[in-house]
Amino acid sequence: MQLLYYPDPRLREVALPVPVVDEDVRANAKEMIEIMHAHKGIGLAATQVGWNRRLFVVGSPEGEEGRGLERVFVNPKIVSAAGAMESEEGCLSLPGIYATLRRSSMVVMEALDLEGRTVRLEAEKLLASVIQHEIDHLDGVLFITRLSPADRQRVKKQLRELEEKYRPDGVR
Ligand code: NI
């Protein structure tokens, strides 16, 4: 497993549900947590490591104290959302690109945990933003598709640089 970078086409795939939460799923989730920390991220979706399944991990970037508090959400669904907020987002698959996005300020999510139990989570602020960002990944949506026209213009050159740097061999 390794982190995929824009413009890898696998980042545009819609992920499939995880059929059963088994040892393989737990092992992959553990590896994703390591990759997230190695890149100092606070969230990582399975599609970002080339695993086309509906699962994401979240964690704290704050050094060691957040270790062990990571959470894994399998087959996540937003069951309700409310409010609006603007916050700055970035993405491990789009290094160096940051932009302010408008999203719901509160979401209620249902998912399975790594034991296959249903969990329900009410999130706001940063966690709400991360959840919406990661579920977008599972639908093949990168945050750059949600930019304002002005921001899209602003990051155009950086995107082109990433395209040159990370374009998979043979894809034009
Ligand atoms: Ni991302």
Catalytic residue among 13, 31, 64, 134: 134
pLDDT of 68 over the 80 cut: no
DSSP state of 95: T
Render pLDDT for 47-67 as a digit per residue (tens, 0 to 9): 999 999 999 999 976 655 556
Entry pTM: 0.93
CB 84 within 8 A of CB 105: yes
Say whether 134 is catalytic. Answer: yes
Please name the amino acid found at residue 28.
Answer: N
Ligand 1 centroid–CA 18 distance in Å is 20
Considering just the CA atoms, what is the radius of gyration of the chain in Å? 16
56 token code pair: 């994401």
Domains of the chain, each with CATH number or no CATH: 9-166 (3.90.45.10)
Note the pLDDT tens digit of each residue in 87-133.
999 999 999 999 999 999 999 999 999 999 999 999 999 999 999 99
Centre of ligand 1 to C-alpha 75, Å, is 17
Task: Return the pLDDT at 69.
Answer: 77
Q: Which residues contact 125 (CB under 8 A, 6 or more apart)?
A: 85, 87, 105
